[in-house]
Amino acid sequence: MCFPSTTADVAFAVTTANRFAIPFVARGSGTGLAGGATPLDGALVIVTTRMNQILEIDADARRAWVEPGVLNLDLTRAVSHLGLHYAPDPSSQQACTIGGNVGTNAGGPHCLAAGVTSAHVLAVEVVLPDGTVEILGGLAPDAPGLDLRGTFVGSEGTMGIATRVCVRLMPDPPEIRTMLADFTAIEDAAAAVSAIIAAGIVPAALEMMDAQATAAVEDFVHAGLPRDADAVLLVEVGGLHGGVTHDASAIDAICRDHGARTVRIAADATERALLWKARKSAFGAVARIAPDYYLHDAVVPRTKLVQVIRQVYEISARYELIAMNVFHAGDGNLHPLLVFDGRTPGIWERVHAAGDEILRACIDAGGVLSGEHGIGLEKRDAMPLFFSADDLDVQARLRDAFDPDGLANPDKILPRGSRCGELGAIPDGAWV
């Protein structure tokens, strides 16, 4: 394990790994949930947490150059006095790093309208797998050539290590309204989500919590959430006064038309912050129920939300597990939590089996494997559920173009047998 402080340090580490044919893995804060930064087979771990400087802020151009170890929330705090913010805001934003966000193409509650990490990265300085340093992308509005920046974002360290990132900064909206609607039936809440989008309104955020999650969060945060609701929606709109007033009024009417008991608007910034603290504390709040949880990440069509959530409940009950749902409802990005006590004999086998079934249910409903956590180790062998043999071969060839020696975070994302001619190498138990 090494802790570089500069791009030159990273390049030296990668070059040395190449000299001795040692695989290497980039690691930031270690908040990833798919095993993407887990070292395998004696890999060299290159930890970028010491590269934590905000190098340059250009308020006029609304961009900043940062090192990969900068914490997500620290970037927004650093530019808040300029009336700017960094839009992607994972629930782990107090701990996760920009480099890790780039690696998994992270999202967050406020990415429904603004877009995920790939929409906010202009350029990346990268130490490629052979140790050379290149800048992918650029600051021009329409850079010529292949979009190698877009290729790199979300590659989970398999195409090199980011050492500097130029990110786009967003202006703070002049007015924000944060709304909490509660429903006695989760079906009604899901129908309200679809109706809001169908009305042509794309809120800044549109989040849902089910009954179990709402009760646990309220016991933890005391934000005034209705503990007897079957589901709650947290909706936020921002912009000019006229547009915000129109959208908030329309969302209020849509929610009530779909069975909302109440629609509450945060009275001030303090109440708004408390509601968001409740949402972003959800994963920590589950410790009040059991000490461990397994969090999944898949995306399904909005019209299939209720169908899949009901399947999550059925699967978890069959395996004698507690299921909770906290997720980005606006884009169908589900985050089902299986809550359990890891000390129970045989529990891990049940948890993994239930997780596999949940992922299959999402795919069968027309969904995809991941919305923002990445593939890593967790979903590597599930890739054939969604991608054909030709798809996997193309992805493998692209990866080989960046890393012909296969040293950069090997055995992540793509299962063995992805390349044409390797089909016989698929391990026993792989999902095919």
Confidence class of residue 288 from pLDDT cuts 50, 70 and 90? confident
Is 417 part of any domain? no
On whether both 44 and 137 belong to a single domain, the answer is: yes
On whether both 23 and 142 belong to a single domain, the answer is: yes
3-state secondary structure labels for all residues of 372-432: CCCCCCCCHHHHHHHCCHHHHHHHHHHHHHHCCCCCECCCCCCCCCCCCCCHHHCCCCCCC
- Cα–Cα dist 324/312, whole Å: 9
Q: Is the pLDDT at 368 greater than 90, yes or no?
A: yes
On whether both 120 and 200 belong to a single domain, the answer is: no
| Contact assessment for residue 31 and residue 73, using Cβ atoms and an 8 Å cutoff | no
Which tokens in the block code for residue 376? 């890593």
Global pTM?
A: 0.93
- Cα–Cα dist 320/361, whole Å: 18
Is 147 part of any domain? yes
Quote the pLDDT of residue 428.
46
Quote the pLDDT of residue 426.
45
On whether both 94 and 183 belong to a single domain, the answer is: no
* Domains contained in the chain, number: 3
Structure-token match 């004999």, residue found = 345
Among 171, 196, 228, which residue terminates a domain? 171
Confidence class of residue 427 from pLDDT cuts 50, 70 and 90? very low
- Cα–Cα dist 275/42, whole Å: 44
What CATH number is attached to the domain comprising 153? 3.30.465.10
Residues in the chain: 432
Quote the pLDDT of residue 417.
80
| Contact assessment for residue 183 and residue 305, using Cβ atoms and an 8 Å cutoff | no
On whether both 308 and 344 belong to a single domain, the answer is: yes
The CA-to-CA distance between both ends of the chain, in Å, stands at: 35
Domain that holds residue 257: 175-283
| Contact assessment for residue 331 and residue 269, using Cβ atoms and an 8 Å cutoff | no
Which tokens in the block code for residue 126? 């990268």
Residues 330-365: tens digit of each pLDDT = 999 999 999 999 999 999 999 999 999 999 999 999
- Tell me how far CA of residue 97 lies from CA of 68, 205, 420, in angstroms: 6, 22, 36
- Cα–Cα dist 317/404, whole Å: 46
Q: Is the pLDDT at 406 greater than 80, yes or no?
A: yes
Tell me what percent of the residues of the chain surpass a pLDDT of 70.
97
- Cα–Cα dist 213/285, whole Å: 8
